[in-house]
């Protein structure tokens, strides 16, 4: 939180020193008539100095950093973790993977990675941990931005878009998908899914502004992807579905046998962990074959870490405003506090209030800054850098 305060201070300082940067970010200026309307509506009401405003921002963000407060939050989170390992259907989701890679696996595979802002398609060759040279080689990879119009695609339309990108990537090198045997494919899915086997799982609400689950909620994710691929005659076969955090753990475990936990920090946030089966409630594991229980001592768990922390982590009025305006309020409380999807929006909300109440930029309100999510986290990162 101290780091965030420093970033915010740097943003204010940079924009004040270089006003042209503000115009580059929000090129459409507010007319004098619009400025007067904002004042008439009470949206511009300078009643304090910027120094007073920054002191308040610092107080709100730094107050929870007292060791006793942090310890209390840690204890509450542990209670929440243990409870949701027993009976929650949307987080602490066990996969069907009960072993980690040996490091001896070999072969060529198609890897699909659907993230919060990017789709990546790669051809990966596994050569073995003891091989000469790189044990894991990416032979080809392409990525596409998942922007607003793509996030708005519903049901089959989103999966058809995915299949078109897979075809585009494979089409660059015909040998990638020629032969009698379908190309084995793994899908890393950055959203909740209730797994029913290692290669299948029921689609759950996605968050992050995605509408792909609309109309197909509860359907098998593997079949949704395969149906879209069949419509384009793609010679691929979904062999595994896994959360992106679990994929991160497995890919690292292929190289380092001591790996037991992985953390994803990007557009969203999540973590995967390799836990003893006994830490999960029986109903969490569902109706699995007896052969699975005979072999499994541990299981790879997708924590869906973004969903934790409601009522535990302190929030500011800007966090609360962001949450109230979210398509799914309270769905991912932790993610809304720390992830790339939301940090730029929190800074924008603070900037707007600083303009309205403390006279930042002389109280002149750039028209574009009033638009939700118009200030991207990448922009804030570039200013800080």
Q: Quote the percentage of the chain above a pLDDT of 90.
A: 65
Query: Cβ–Cβ contacts within 10 Å for residue 295, how many?
Result: 9
Helix or strand run (H / E) with residue 12: helix 2-17
Interval 113-124 mean pLDDT = 93
Give me the pLDDT at residue 381, please. Answer: 83
Sign of the CA dihedral running 183, 188, 191, 195: positive
Neighbouring CB atoms inside 10 A of 125's CB total 14
Q: Given a cut of 60, is residue 118 above it in pLDDT?
A: yes
Question: Per-residue pLDDT for 300 more than 70?
Answer: yes
Q: What does the DSSP 8-state code read for residue 363? A: G
pLDDT confidence tier of residue 1, bands split at 50, 70 and 90:
very low
Cα–Cα nearest to 140, from 178, 167, 119, 111: 111
- The stretch 9-22 carries a mean pLDDT of 58
| pLDDT for 178 beyond 90 | no
What distance in Å separates the CA atoms of residue 351 and residue 353, rounded to the nearest whole number?
5
Q: Which of 35-39, 257-261, 286-290 has the lowest average pLDDT?
A: 35-39
- Residue spans of the domains in the chain: they are 2-67+310-384, 102-258
pLDDT at 3: 53
Give the per-residue pLDDT at 48.
83
Decide if pLDDT at 42 tops 90. no
Give the bridge partners for 327, in sequence order.
Answer: none
**pLDDT of amino acid 35:** 53
Residue 28 has pLDDT above 60, yes or no: no
Confidence grade of residue 194 (pLDDT, cut at 50, 70, 90): confident
* Three-state secondary structure call for residue 245: helix
The third-level CATH classification (topology) of the domain covering 102-258 is Nucleotidyltransferase; domain 5 (3.30.420)
The number of residues making up the chain comes to 385
Sign of CA dihedral 11, 16, 17, 19: positive
pLDDT at 382: 83
Average pLDDT score over the chain: 87
d(CA 235, CA 140): 17
User: Collapsing DSSP states into helix, strand and coil, what is residue 190?
Assistant: coil
**pLDDT for residue 323:** 97
pLDDT for the residue 6: 61
């Amino acid at each position: 939180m101290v780091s965030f305060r420093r970033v915010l201070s740097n943003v204010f300082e940079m924009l004040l020193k270089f006003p042209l940067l503000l115009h580059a970010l929000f090129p459409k200026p507010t007319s004098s008539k619009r400025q007067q309307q904002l004042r008439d509506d009470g949206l511009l009401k300078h009643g304090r100095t910027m120094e007073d405003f920054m002191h308040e921002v610092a107080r709100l963000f730094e107050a929870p950093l007292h060791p006793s407060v942090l310890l209390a939050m840690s204890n509450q989170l542990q209670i929440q973790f243990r409870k949701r390992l027993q009976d929650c259907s949307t987080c602490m989701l066990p996969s069907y993977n009960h072993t980690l890679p040996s490091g001896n696996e070999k072969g060529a595979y198609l890897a699909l990675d659907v993230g919060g802002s990017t789709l990546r398609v790669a051809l990966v060759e596994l050569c073995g941990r003891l091989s000469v040279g790189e044990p894991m080689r990416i032979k080809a990879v392409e990525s596409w931005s998942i922007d607003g119009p793509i996030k708005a695609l519903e049901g089959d339309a989103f999966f058809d878009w995915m299949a078109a990108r897979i075809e585009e990537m494979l089409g660059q090198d015909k040998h990638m998908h020629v032969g009698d045997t379908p190309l084995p494919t793994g899908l890393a899915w950055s959203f909740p899914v209730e797994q029913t086997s290692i290669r299948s799982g029921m689609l759950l609400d996605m968050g992050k502004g995605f509408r792909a689950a609309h109309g197909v909620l509860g359907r098998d994710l593997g079949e949704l992807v395969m149906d879209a691929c069949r419509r384009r005659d793609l010679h691929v076969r979904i062999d595994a579905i896994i959360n992106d955090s679990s994929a991160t753990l497995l890919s690292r475990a292929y190289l380092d046998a001591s790996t037991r936990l992985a953390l994803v920090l990007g557009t969203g946030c999540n973590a995967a962990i390799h836990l003893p089966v006994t830490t999960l409630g029986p109903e969490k594991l569902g109706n699995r074959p007896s052969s699975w229980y005979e072999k499994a001592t541990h299981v790879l768990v997708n924590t869906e870490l973004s969903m934790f922390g409601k009522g535990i982590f302190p929030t500011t009025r800007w966090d609360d405003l962001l949450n109230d305006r979210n398509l799914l309020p309270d769905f991912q409380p932790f993610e809304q506090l720390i992830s790339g999807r939301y940090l730029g929006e929190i800074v924008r909300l603070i900037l707007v209030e600083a303009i309205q109440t403390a006279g930042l930029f002389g109280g002149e309100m750039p028209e574009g800054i009033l638009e939700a999510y118009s200030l991207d986290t990448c922009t804030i990162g570039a200013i800080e850098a």
